[in-house]
Amino acid sequence: MMSSDHSRRTMIKGIGIATAAGVLGTATAQAATAVPAEGEIWSNEYWAKKGDIPLWMFRKRIGAPKPGEPARPVVFFVHGSSVTARVFDLTVPGKGEYSLLNTFARYGFDCWTMDHENYGKSGRTSGNADIASGVEDLKAAVEVIAHETGQRRYHFVGESSGALRAGAFAMAAPERIDRLVFAAFTYKGEGSPTLAKRAEQLAYYRSHNMRKRDRDMIRSIATRDRPGTSDPAVVEVLADVEMQFGDQIPTGTYLDMTANLPVVHPEKVLAPVLLVRGEYDGIAAVPDIEEFFNKLPNGDRQFVILPGTAHSVALATNRELFWHVTRAFLTMPTPIVT
């Protein structure tokens, strides 16, 4: 369900490649500004390498890149536990825009995403694709972005365990981070009915690296908290797209979220942070997020609750509220007084 022009394919190895190192070493400190754009959306796919593991990446922006043009701010969308990067680029006929990549490309951003190890088009291994593995995926991905854009810092928008991946990466590589948006984030998991229910399967997650993910499981993402907050037709399209990759999905992030929280420590997240929670989210309890928010060291931080939404803000009927607060946060003017 993704529209793309795969005229060019790029394979770049993981950390420390010469071309990326050269870009990072010589790039000027030019601030990239998001300016609303009109025109055709250009897209391309890329491949990063994490050791021997190929990792699929996808990019959208208005117009193909041109030498010498002003830099556009890069925003990287990080997917969660039970879906691939397609969740950020759905085409749903007759239902309006459901592609975050399209939306933020029109806002003037250079939009990127990826399939993590054992998801979607990326390589399959015997691992469980936990949060730590996701951090290594992102380390490989930013080398591709550096090579392609000449930029060294990027915005990250993560949903659910994608927010945990983005947060853990921000701790590991703070020099790569511009601004962070954590949607459906969980800190310690306290007060979460969904995680309490999920923990009943903890022994299974410890002993199995993959779990069943059928159409009903995908539908439950939009119905388990508050039916009616997402359009069932949209979720069916998501299921159609996701099931092409099979009915198995890694257990690693489920294990982390039920047994190993916290995996993101607020005092180690130095960048500006926007925390976004759906009003009816069964994973991200308000006191849990408030505790995280209050411990963040950067004064440039916000916590927003979106009315009439549940866990998946990207697929919510009220998704434009998410677009609005995210765009506003990513385009905040630089403070004059600090």
Q: What pLDDT shows up at residue 223?
A: 85
**Mean pLDDT lowest for which of 2-6, 236-240, 292-296?**
2-6
Q: Give me the percent of the chain exceeding a pLDDT of 90.
A: 86
Q: What pLDDT shows up at residue 240?
A: 96
Global pTM reads: 0.91
Q: What pLDDT shows up at residue 157?
A: 98
Q: What pLDDT shows up at residue 37?
A: 82
8 Å CB contact between 213 and 82 = yes
The four Cα atoms 51, 112, 146, 64 give a dihedral, to 10 degrees, of 130
Residue 319 confidence (pLDDT) above 80: yes
* DSSP bridge partners of 69: none
Residue 2 confidence (pLDDT) above 80: no
DSSP 109-140: -EEEEEPPTTSTTSPP-SS---HHHHHHHHHH
Residue 3 confidence (pLDDT) above 70: no
Largest CA distance in the chain: 55
- Across the chain, where does the E strand assignment appear? 9-12, 41-50, 53-62, 74-78, 89-90, 98-99, 110-114, 154-159, 177-183, 210-212, 248-250, 273-278, 301-306
- Best CA proximity match to 40, nearest among 102, 133, 115, 99: 102
Residue 282 confidence (pLDDT) above 80: yes
Three-state DSSP class for 294? helix
**Mean pLDDT lowest for which of 18-32, 33-47, 53-67?**
18-32
DSSP 51-100: TTEEEEEEEEEES---TTPPP--EEEEE--SS--GGGGEE--TTS--EEH
8 Å CB contact between 133 and 127 = yes
Q: What pLDDT shows up at residue 31?
A: 61
Give 47-82 pLDDT, tens digit per residue: 999 999 999 999 999 999 999 999 999 999 999 999
Q: What pLDDT shows up at residue 94?
A: 95
Question: CA–CA distance from 163 to each of 17, 76, 94 (Å)?
Answer: 27, 11, 30
Question: CA–CA distance from 132 to each of 104, 114, 127 (Å)?
Answer: 28, 16, 11
Q: What pLDDT shows up at residue 316?
A: 96
Residue 265 confidence (pLDDT) above 50: yes
Residue 197 confidence (pLDDT) above 50: yes
Q: Which fold has domain 9-330?
A: Rossmann fold (3.40.50)
In the structure, what pLDDT confidence band is assigned to residue 221 with cuts at 50, 70 and 90? Answer: confident
- Best CA proximity match to 85, nearest among 45, 143, 53: 45
Give 141-182 pLDDT, tens digit per residue: 999 999 999 999 999 999 999 999 999 999 999 999 999 999
What does the domain layout of the chain look like in residue ranges? 9-330
- Best CA proximity match to 275, nearest among 156, 189, 190, 182: 182
Three-state DSSP class for 22? helix
Give 114-133 pLDDT, tens digit per residue: 999 999 999 999 999 999 99
Q: Give 282's DSSP letter.
A: S
Phi, psi angle pair for 145, to nearest 5°: -65, -40
When the pLDDT of each residue in the chain is averaged and rounded to a whole number, the result is: 91
Residue 1 confidence (pLDDT) above 70: no
Q: What pLDDT shows up at residue 21?
A: 33
